[in-house]
Each structure stands twice: as structure tokens, then as C-alpha cells.
Copies of this chain bind each other. A is one copy, B any other.
């Protein structure tokens, strides 16, 4: 019955870790003409929640115009309170897919349990594991058996090592198409909703083969800080940015304070483009 503990860094090495600073050693995750982990800087945007067929179609159209390469949108929302808006469920997912097809963009959405993985797999291009579920090991194992790439968000109080291990739960099941995402951690600092731990981006890029993106919307909870944080993430080496935006932020059913307006999204895209040049990367073509 004795089961010796295996030094997990050793086990991880060939699968997740790299000592090779050259680009060759990184995993690339391709979705149509989009690629994570290469030269490209990917902008993912969309509303916190899919709220109606019109809202998501308008969001998709506006996003496409400014250079967004993947759409995000919540179907079932993980909310602190059981009395808060919980998302519209499966009908919203159909609207989301239809809108995305109209503008020819892939979509990512969060799954909160094993059952939702079955429901989401036919519709979404990337399955998202949210912060609260980063150590939901049953869920990690299930998405490890999916043929879809996984967007794995760092837990609110997860260490670097715990994030790596969560990815390993997925990879061990056979799915190494994993995109890591920094989205802010819990600290005493109270001028933002969370503290954006930008240093984990270069740390992950130096040691790990997986693409890394950042979510400055949840990190800050403040639309005025989203653009500078997005730029800081790219300057630190991130492969992409995921932001919340809303055709009309004042009317958003959730997280209104952090959603970019269409104008702000356009500004972000413009600034990412010129930053990409300085960083020797590509944006938006």
C-alpha cells in the first residue's frame, strides 16, 4: 500500500518545465489562424455575462472590429452571494456560439462543474477554469480528458507552485493544451479588488512551456486601471490579455465597474499594437 511521494518537479520537467529560453521549447496552441505561445499577442474580450442575443451579437461585432481575436462571456456565473445574478445558462451559450460564428471568432467560457464540461464541449473553443476552481481536482481531471484547450486561471491565493500543480493535474490526464492566466491575488492592499501579481508572468515564461495571459479586469476591478495593467502584462512578457467589455457598461448586470466601453477597448487595441512592435511581437493582423 505504501505509495512513495515522487519529487514532482522531476516528473513535471519533460511535460511542463523548460530550461531552454529559445522559443522552440514553448507549447503553441492554435485555434484557426490564432496562436497562443508564439509571436502573437492575443486580445480576448467580451461581456462579464451573456445577457441577451442582441447584447452578445453587438459585443461580438464591436470586438471583431477593433482586433479582438477571441470572445469571452459568462453563461453560469460563480457569484459570492446566492442572491446575485447567476447567469442565463444554456440558452445564452447558444446565442454566444451563434454570435461568434457570425463574426468568425472562437469563444472561451467558464465551466463550474463536471456536468457543465459535457454541456459546453460542443459549443466552446476553449474551456475556462475559474479562480475559485483552480484546486477543484475533480474538475481539473475532467478537463484533462477534453479535446478542447483549457484556460486555467490562478486561484486568488494560489502560489506559483500550486498553479503549476493545478496545470499538472490537467496535463497528467493527457491534455497539455493549457493557457495560464494571472488575474490578481488577495492581499491587504485595498485600492484595487485584487493585487495584480505581474511578476508571475515572466516567472512562468522563464520556467514553463505554457502560454500565459493576464486578466486586468478582475485583477483591478476598475476600468480606469485596465489599460495600463494590460500594457504592463505585455511588457512583462504575456502572450495575451483577457478583458471584460460591454457595449454599454452602465447597463451591465454584473461587474459594471470594471467593464471597458467600446471606446476604451479600441484605445487598448491601439496601444497594444504599438507596444507589440516595441516588444518584437505581433498584434491584430
Please report A residues at the B interface, Cβ cutoff 8 Å.
1, 3, 5-6, 8, 11, 51-52, 78-85, 88, 112-115, 132-133, 135-139, 156-157, 159-162, 165, 168-169, 172, 185-192, 195-203, 206, 219-220, 224-225, 228-229, 231-237, 253, 274-275, 277-279
Contacts and interface: CB of A to CB of B under 8 A. Distances in A.
A28 B124 CA distance: 46
A195 B187 contact: yes
A128 B210 CA distance: 34
A157 B228 contact: no
Nearest to A280: B274
B138 A160 contact: no
13 contacts: A1-B52, A5-B84, A8-B82, A8-B84, A80-B135, A80-B162, A112-B136, A159-B188, A185-B187, A195-B199, A198-B198, A199-B219, A232-B233
A257 to B, nearest CB: 14
A188 B156 CA distance: 11
B5 A137 contact: no
A123 to B, nearest CB: 19
A229 B202 contact: yes
Nearest to A144: B82
Nearest to A196: B199
Contact of A5 (B85, B275, B279): B85
Nearest to A276: B278
Given A113-B139, A160-B189, 16 more contacts: A3-B85, A5-B84, A5-B85, A80-B135, A80-B165, A112-B137, A114-B115, A157-B157, A159-B189, A159-B191, A160-B191, A187-B197, A202-B225, A203-B225, A232-B233, A235-B235
A255 B5 CA distance: 12
Contacts of A156: 157
A117 B191 CA distance: 32
Q: Which of A196, A224, A236 has the most CB of B within 10 A?
A: A236
Contacts of A275: 235, 275, 278-279
